[in-house]
Chains A and B, each alone.
Chain A
Amino acid sequence: MIRRAPLVLGNKTYETITKDIASLLESFPGPGFFAGLAGAQFLLLIFLLAQGMIVWFGMGMMGVNSPVGWGTDIITFVFWIGIGHAGTLISAILFLFRQKWRTSIARSAEAMTVFAVMTAGLFPILHTGRPWLAYWLLPYPNQRGPLWVNFRSPLVWDVFAVSTYATVSAVFWYIGMVPDLATIRDRAQNKWRKRIYGALSLGWRGTARNWNHYEMVYMLLAGLSTPLVLSVHSIVSFDFAVATLPGWHTTIFPPYFVAGAIFSGFAMVVTLMAIIRELVPVFKDYITLDHMENMNKIIMATGLMVGYAYGSEFFIAWYSGVEYEQYIFLNRAFGPYGWSYWIMVTCNVIIPQLFWFKYVRRSIPLMFIISIFVNIGMWFERFVITITSLHRDFLPSSWGMWAPTIYDLGALFGSFGLFFTLFLIYIRLLPAISIAEVKPVLYVGRDGGNHGHH
């Protein structure tokens, strides 16, 4: 008989699960953590400096100009939003599919979603050049008529999609955390600790009647988040696809963007989980090699979908018979930005093929390196879509080139500082693995369990 692999290693009991996960919040961090935090904050300072200069002196600090009006800000926005999608996939879609292995990674994946969306959200606001007027993006009653936003514009759809996504993800994450915060409160020895976590836990006590409603709401939020996450990257792709620009104006964009988002997001989850496993050795019992292997399989599957989309785009460009469309794709692969196209293909299509080998799927150093390549490749995918389509469209007289300035690079690399600062602080202040969700799957795949009726 084929038995299920255990989801939690090391003969844990409910009590040791609580201790293992809470220990991270109840001990003083070591030098490794502070070294990581210092590195992240250094990058965060670069981000603040670069964006501060851009806001103060204007968008001229960045490389965008005619004809390439969308640069680093838009590329990096799509990149971070895509990262967030894997978190929702793990927390919502795998929940609906009853994938029990998701329980130990769901919390941190959701945190990744929230922080990635926060990072992403800054970019279009800063791209407007006048972020202090960002509220103009919302349909609020104003003294100009009121003049409403244009609801026919994909950019307005994006405002609704991203802000709804940010709100629902944050609420889903927080509601999932409430019982665990109560656990931390009940373990607290210090008065302030008890007060702070007591307030955060909303006074949750885990009565059967409360759990009954709680589980229902969790399922409802999963059910609502699933179409939501698919809509968000579809709508992000509409930002491009609704324009008539060759290379953007394609019907394949929504599924292609969603697959790419999940692909890049799972790569980021693998990156983060590999780091967490090193920082917190006890978590290796919860985030096992089986978990990592499952995620690597998803990376491989979505990577193949993305590779198929690259091929399909070329075929349709040729098959359409439209000369602009044909030119733009040849220019993508062999024009002045051809190098970026081949970085994208190498990182997203070729390198993930190593995951066909079980040894690679279960090797932490190799999967870490591959996940970094996928992240690089997915940034370049958005680069290719944005820059190569804009820089040469219909009239050769309006062609041009784009190059990043040092402020572009500061905004891009600095955004990792913002993301990692938030993430590192999160793993020390909030339960990084769901205590209440791991306990019910404790006996999955265990020998001689009289508990095995779940």
Chain B
Amino acid sequence: MDIIDKLISVARGKSRRGVAGIWLDEHKLVDAARKTRAAGFTKFEAITPFPLHDIDDAMGIPRSFIPWVTFIFGLTGFAFGTWFTWWASSVDWPINIGGKPMWSLPAFIPVMFECTILFGALSSVGALIAICGLPKVDPPVIDPDLSSHKFALWVPEDDTGYNAAKVEQLFRELGANEVKQAEF
């Protein structure tokens, strides 16, 4: 065990036990997700290699709130760009350039605009990383093919009404190609 393995084991996050079902067809997975939700589970996860359009409805996932982050930080960037060009050019060290007014707003618009975009873009990505809990160090992977061509549902042991045998039974009834106990 080398030093990197030690670092990984220190930095690794907590994982939970649970039951996973694996499907080969994404439409069956969406259907299974709908029925798993109807069975009363709320904390279960769907793991897919690419985004599925109907899964949000099936699992009751609300629309992402990240646009609000973008909006607020975009406005912040705009305000910063406006304030900084004004302060630097007409307060901190006013210099007469070409007889233009000290606060020559039209000339500052490019900088204000770029600040808006930069703040908006970086804050959106920052919000994504924070919400998804990234970076995750060596997270448990239920099946390596879940990033390629398989689709999974996973119910954690702390979900309401969890019973390993019952969940396994449910997934088999919903046509899972494979059902197993798995950490995630």
Q: Which residues of A are interface residues toward B (Cβ below 8 A)? A: 13-15, 18, 139, 145-152, 154, 156-157, 160-161, 164, 167-168, 171-172, 175, 179, 182-183, 185-187, 195, 198-199, 202-217, 220-221, 224-225, 227-228, 231, 235, 238, 435-437, 439-440, 451, 454
Contact for A204 among B61, B84, B92, B134, CB less than 8 A? B134
| Known A156-B111, A220-B67, A220-B124: A186·B93 in contact at CB below 8 Å | no
Which residues from chain A contact B100 at a C-beta distance below 8 Å? 152
Q: Does B4 contact A (CB under 8 A)?
A: yes
Contact of B66 among A183, A198, A213, A435 (CB under 8 A): A213
Q: Does B145 contact A (CB under 8 A)?
A: yes
User: Which size bracket describes the interface of B in this complex?
Assistant: 35 or more
Within the complex, which residue of B85, B125, B145 is in contact with A217, where a contact is CB–CB below 8 Å?
Answer: B125
User: What is the minimal beta-carbon distance from A374 to any residue of chain B, in angstroms?
Assistant: 29
Residues B27-75 near A (CB distance < 8 A): 27, 33, 45-53, 55-56, 59, 61, 63-64, 66-67, 70
A209 to B50, CA, bound (A): 12
Contacts of B146 in A (CB 8 A): 186, 205-206
Residue of B nearest to A198 (CB): B138
Bound form: Cα–Cα A439–B48 in Å: 11
| B66 engages A220 (CB within 8 Å) | yes
Query: Which residues of B sit under 8 angstroms from A168, Cβ to Cβ?
Result: 117-118, 121-122
Q: Are A436 and B107 in contact (CB under 8 A)?
A: no
Contact (Cβ within 8 A) B139 A205: yes
A148 touches B88 (CB 8 A): yes
Is A231 a contact partner of B114 (Cβ separation < 8 A)? yes
Task: Tell me what chain B mostly uses at the interface: helix, strand, loop, or mixed.
Answer: helix
Most chain B C-beta atoms within 10 Å of own C-beta, residue among A13, A161, A186, A213: A213
Of A198, A206, A213, which one neighbours B64 at CB under 8 angstroms? A213
Determine whether the beta carbon of B125 is less than 8 Å from that of A148: no
Closest beta carbon of chain B to A454's beta carbon, Å: 7
B contact set with A: CB distance below 8 Å: 4, 8, 27, 33, 45-53, 55-56, 59, 61, 63-64, 66-67, 70, 84-85, 88-89, 92-93, 95, 97-98, 100, 104, 107-108, 110-111, 113-115, 117-118, 120-122, 124-125, 127-129, 131-132, 134-139, 141, 144-149, 184
Q: Are A179 and B144 in contact (CB under 8 A)?
A: no
The verdict on A213 contacting B89 (CB below 8 Å), with A207-B45, A231-B113 known, is no
26 contacts between A and B (CB under 8 A): A18-B49, A145-B92, A147-B93, A154-B110, A157-B110, A160-B115, A167-B118, A167-B122, A179-B50, A186-B141, A186-B144, A202-B129, A202-B135, A204-B134, A208-B46, A208-B48, A209-B132, A212-B64, A214-B51, A214-B132, A216-B63, A217-B127, A221-B121, A224-B117, A439-B49, A439-B50
Query: Chain A's interface: helix, strand, loop or mixed, by majority?
Result: helix
Within 8 Å CB of B46, what residues of A? 207-208
Docked complex Cα distance between A198 and B145 (Å): 15
CB proximity of B24 to chain A, nearest CB, Å: 9
Say whether A216 contacts B66, CB under 8 Å: yes
Instruction: Evaluate contact between B149 and A14: CB separation under 8 angstroms.
Output: yes
Once bound together, how far apart are the Cα atoms of A172 and B63, in whole Å?
21
The residue on A at minimum CB distance from B86 is A151
Q: How far is the CA of A152 from the CA of B63 in the complex (A)?
A: 42
Q: From known contacts A186-B146, A212-B56, infer whether A203 and B93 are also in contact, taking CB-CB under 8 Å.
A: no
Inside 8 A of A179's CB, which chain B residues have their CB? Answer: 49-50, 147
9 tightest CB-CB pairs across the interface, nearest first? A203-B136, A14-B149, A216-B64, A157-B110, A186-B144, A148-B88, A208-B46, A18-B148, A211-B51
Hey, which chain A residues are within 8 Å of B124, CB to CB? 217, 220-221, 224
